[in-house]
Amino acid sequence: MTVANIQIPASETTAQTGASLVVSTLERMGVDVVFGYPGGAIMPIYDAIAGSGVRHYLCRHEQGAAFAADAYARASGKVGVCMATSGPGATNLVTGIANAMLDSVPMVCITGNVAQGVMGTDAFQEVDIMGVTIPLVKHSYLVRDAADIPAIIEEAFHIARTGRPGPVLIDLPKDIQFQATAETRAFHLPNDNAIAPDSAIKAAAEAIRNAQRPIIYIGGGAKISGAVETVREFARLTDIPQVSTLNALGTIPTGQDNYLGMLGMHGTRAANDAVQASDLLIVVGARFDDRATGKLNEFAPHAGVIHFDVDASEIGKLRAVAVPVVGDLKPNLEALNRELASGATINVRDWSNQCRAQMAECTADYNAPGEGVYAPALLNELSK
């Protein structure tokens, strides 16, 4: 995923305060909605929002603002933005920031802080929010010069939504929000290489053709990367049975013949049995979460692993990988689909039939054991 370099219009090169630069840069980034709760250390930005094109939703608690920004990002596909004041306002964002980090949700969190002159003196509502959130964000900034604000915000958005998405924190001392500047620094878009080498794609295709009992193990990255249709095409092309994590539900329609359901602690018997019997796991955007694997050393003990993931740190972190495919899932899986379509036919018919038979055998029984309303049957009818 990429963003364009954003040029500051000549009409805006007259002196602006740091607070007005925050708002005007958000507008240039296409942000029309922010969630927050005001306080003294971020009040200049709230003053700048008035009359702008940015609509502010007043939440009743900063944690609610963080979760609202998270939900907005999930629903819209855009970067969610939330704001809070210093001290307890900033620390109240932490749970929502952690949620976004663990679920790979793009978010930019803007916090006010005490003026630089009193930092480190235990000033009123002073908290080192950067230190507090280091384990919970992809990156964080403490702004020291108002001229850096446009470049920092643009870079923060780029970091939040590229690679494995996640939250970014921007901490703004109050004196920087008041500081006026007529010059701003530009953000230069880095070159991101999202495509795995051809050797990795060919190795993955060879492993798939040689497998007798492969399983496609789908994670939330399929949705995040916009690769849902590509994953479905991969499933159609190969006829390999599929399982999914909780965050990947819906990637494969539940009525598909080869879809075995969710795996793991709360998954289906058919999905878990198939994974345990498999000789190859084709992992697309999943991270071997403990809710899915259970006892890791007993999980799919006979299976080799092809792992597609945009985050190189996830490759081999919990499970040894035979074929790593690092980069944006969509173009890499599209490349694999082309490679498979141009080569020998994949024959897993017997294995697929076996998995479908297991799925049929494990189908839930909705016959009521007695008179009256039987809750599972009622819910099944509502679902239909």
Half-sphere exposure at residue 105, Cβ-oriented, CA atoms within 13 angstroms? 24
**Could you tell me if 272 and 263 are in contact, meaning their C-beta atoms sit under 8 angstroms apart?**
yes
pTM: 0.82
User: How many other CB atoms sit within 10 Å of the CB of residue 80?
Assistant: 29
Same domain, 40 and 122: yes
- 89 and 163 co-located in one domain: yes
- Residue at which a domain ends, from 181, 210, 227: 181
Does residue 209 share a domain with residue 131? no
Same domain, 135 and 251: no
Q: Is residue 169 located within the same domain as residue 204?
A: no
Q: Residue written as tokens 């890499």?
A: 332
CATH number of the domain within which 299 lies:
3.40.50.1220
User: 381 lies in a domain?
Assistant: no
Q: Are 279 and 212 in contact (CB under 8 A)?
A: yes
Residues 55 and 140 in one domain: yes
- For residue 203, being part of any structural domain is answered with yes
Structural domain includes residue 374: no
Same domain, 243 and 299: yes
**Is there a domain that residue 301 lies in?**
yes
Phi-psi region of 183 (alpha: psi -120 to 50; beta: other; left: phi over 0): beta
Same domain, 95 and 204: no
My answer on whether 31 and 74 are in the same domain is: yes
- Residue 301: give the domain boundaries: 198-361
Residue 383 domain-assigned (yes or no): no
Residues in the chain, how many? 384
Domain annotation covers residue 15 = yes
- Of 124, 150, 181, the residue at which a domain comes to its end is 181
**pLDDT of the residue at 141:** 96
Domain boundary among 134, 152, 181: 181
- pLDDT of amino acid 254: 87
Distances (CA, A) of 85 to 89, 110, 220: 5, 9, 32
**230 Cβ neighbours under 8 A, 6+ residues apart:** 329, 330, 333, 334, 337
Per-residue pLDDT of the chain (384 residues; tens, 9 = 90+): 334 444 444 444 588 999 999 999 999 999 999 999 999 999 999 999 999 999 999 999 999 999 999 999 999 999 999 999 999 999 999 999 999 999 999 999 999 999 999 999 989 999 999 999 999 999 999 999 999 999 999 999 999 999 899 999 999 999 999 999 998 887 877 666 678 999 999 999 999 999 999 999 999 999 999 999 999 999 999 999 999 999 999 999 988 889 999 999 999 999 999 999 999 999 999 999 999 999 999 999 999 999 999 988 899 999 999 999 999 999 999 999 999 999 878 899 999 999 999 999 988 888 888 888 999 999 989 988
Looking up residue 91, the CATH number of its domain turns out to be 3.40.50.970
Sheet holding 259-262, edge to edge: 259-262, 242-244, 214-218, 280-284, 304-309, 323-326
Same-domain status, 166 and 220: no
Alpha carbon of 325 to those of 22, 26, 94, 287: distances in Å? 38, 35, 33, 13
Is residue 174 a part of any domain in this protein?
yes
**Is residue 4 situated within a structural domain?**
no
The DSSP bridge partners found for residue 307 are 283, 324
Residue 119 phi/psi, 5-degree rounding, is -65, 135
pLDDT reported for residue 6: 44
| Residues in Cβ contact with 364 at an 8 Å cutoff, skipping those fewer than 6 apart | 376, 380
Same structural domain, 205 and 290: yes
Number of domains in the chain: 2
Looking at the structure, do residues 287 and 204 belong to the same domain, yes or no?
A: yes
- State residue 191's pLDDT score: 62
